A = this chain, B = another copy of it.
């Protein structure tokens, strides 16, 4: 039954009765019930308390008919047991208190044992899978090696990734060691998520779009490829990043059953580049959710038209739902996608 869900069939590029849809950050600040928990609980506590993480994961499922759930967690969680000290302060992004500066810092990082080091994520997955009871699949996820490295080196989010690129250019040996370690951790973490019940995986290598194709190919692709090769078979994997209009073929070479794109390229243009052997997830601009319904409707239709009923399209935004997004518009998009794509 689980394997027959619309979402999983789309991941396998089989025909579906309608286009499945879910949203990155569908369990997030735009939901009042999320804010109610966040108000009295720190972000890390939310992530590390399986009952809370499970509850938050299910919040959007109770509100709208999305075709998949995604476990509530943060891509930085597996970095902590590696030895990275992270602070999540309200309003701002995460801060790394001991940024990675050189080869010694990289050598000091541990390879994690997920069942011991991030048991709370796996426990939350088990709880959610039980609750969902096969109705829709659960997506597990991890950050991609480049994106994780960039947080560790920059000390947080970055506008131009200068420190990361300088590290890459100036300390290539340390860089390669670092990405290799991160790839190993990501593989272990994702395989543990599959073992705990996640039926689909998504790799968020969100920030690779800052790189030239030349640098992505040389400094990142081999490690992403290693991740895709070593993930246990059976769970389809979505390879997501932003700003990748000129990186799509390289992302495909790295791996993934579905390539997740942002809104900065037309979906049909992306599919022409990639060919029909791979699915595509996307690609509504998250800001469109602030537009009047007539505008939203036009864009949803344009995306479905660009996908042209090809098997393997999963409807999503081009990046996460933004805070303050009107919930009613999110619900409306779910219904529009189901209605307009009904074969």
Q: Is the CB of B246 within 8 A of A215?
A: no
Across the interface, name the chain B residue whose C-beta is closest to A283: B212
Q: Is the CB of A290 within 8 A of B165?
A: yes
Which residues of A217-252 are within 8 A (CB) of B? 243, 245-247
Which residues of A258-277 are within 8 A (CB) of B? 263-266, 269
Q: Contact check: which of B166, B215, B243 meets A243 at CB < 8 Å?
A: B243
Which residues of A293-309 are within 8 A (CB) of B? 295, 299, 302
Q: Is the CB of A161 within 8 A of B287?
A: yes
Please tell me how many copies of the chain the complex holds: 2
Query: CA A315 – CA B327 in complex, angstroms?
Result: 48
A340 within 8 A of B: no
CB distance from A336 to the nearest CB of B (A): 16
Contacts of A111 in B (CB 8 A): none
A292 within 8 A of B: yes
A88 within 8 A of B: no
The residue among A159, A166, A215, A246 with the most chain B CB atoms within 10 A of its own CB is: A246
A170 within 8 A of B: yes
CB distance from A168 to the nearest CB of B (A): 9
A292 and B165 contact, Cβ closer than 8 Å, known pairs A214-B266, A266-B213, A285-B212: no
Q: Is the CB of B292 within 8 A of A169?
A: yes
A89 within 8 A of B: no
CB distance from A166 to the nearest CB of B (A): 5
Contacts of A83 in B (CB 8 A): none
Contacts of A291 in B (CB 8 A): 166, 169-170
Query: CA A215 – CA B247 in complex, angstroms?
Result: 22
Which residues of A133-171 are within 8 A (CB) of B? 159-162, 165-166, 169-170
CB distance from A302 to the nearest CB of B (A): 6
A335 within 8 A of B: no
Q: Is the CB of B243 within 8 A of A264?
A: yes
Q: Is the CB of A264 within 8 A of B209?
A: yes
Which residues of A come within 8 Å of B, CB atoms? 159-162, 165-166, 169-170, 209-215, 243, 245-247, 263-266, 269, 285, 287-288, 290-292, 295, 299, 302, 322
* 8 A-B pairs with least C-beta separation: A245-B245, A169-B291, A246-B265, A245-B246, A165-B287, A212-B263, A166-B290, A213-B266
13 inter-chain pairs at a CB distance below 8 angstroms, sorted by A residue, are A161-B287, A165-B288, A165-B290, A166-B287, A169-B291, A170-B291, A170-B292, A214-B266, A214-B299, A215-B285, A245-B245, A246-B266, A246-B269
